Amino acid sequence: MKKLSYYILSVFVAVVFFVSAIAFPESVKYTVDSAEATETTSYTAEDIRSLQKFLLSKETPDLSGKDYDLNNDDIWDIFDLCLMKKFSSESNILIAYFTRAENVLIENPEEIDTDATSSASLLLPGNSAVMANHIQSIVGGDLFSIVAENLYPADYENCLRRVSEEQAENIRPSLVNHIDNIDNYDIIFLGYPNWAYTCPMPVFSFLEEYDFSGKIIVPFCTHGTGGLAGTVSDIKKILPEDCKVMKPVGISREDISDCKGDIEKWLLELGFYRK
What pLDDT shows up at residue 123? 74
- The CATH number of the domain where 122 resides is what? 3.40.50.360
Same domain, yes or no: 138 and 247:
yes
Same domain, yes or no: 34 and 118:
no
Under 8 Å between Cβ of 223 and 239: no
Q: 57 lies in which domain range? A: 51-85
Same domain, yes or no: 34 and 123:
no
Half-sphere exposure of 73 (CA within 13 A, CB side): 8
What is the reported pTM?
Answer: 0.66
Under 8 Å between Cβ of 127 and 121: yes
Same domain, yes or no: 117 and 227:
yes
Question: Average per-residue pLDDT in the chain?
Answer: 78
What pLDDT shows up at residue 237? 96
**152-161 pLDDT, tens per residue?**
998 889 999 9
Same domain, yes or no: 15 and 128:
no
Same domain, yes or no: 102 and 177:
yes
Confidence of residue 134 (pLDDT cuts 50, 70, 90): very high
Confidence of residue 29 (pLDDT cuts 50, 70, 90): very low
What pLDDT shows up at residue 219? 98
Read off φ and ψ for residue 246, nearest 5 degrees. Answer: -85, 170
Same domain, yes or no: 217 and 171:
yes
Same domain, yes or no: 238 and 259:
yes
Same domain, yes or no: 28 and 104:
no
Same domain, yes or no: 103 and 197:
yes
- On whether residue 172 sits in a domain, the answer given is yes
What pLDDT shows up at residue 225? 86
What pLDDT shows up at residue 178? 97
Confidence of residue 149 (pLDDT cuts 50, 70, 90): very high
Q: How many domains does the chain have?
A: 3
Under 8 Å between Cβ of 250 and 232: no
Q: DSSP string covering 221-254, please?
A: EEESTTTTTTHHHHHHHHS-TT-EEPPPEEEEGG
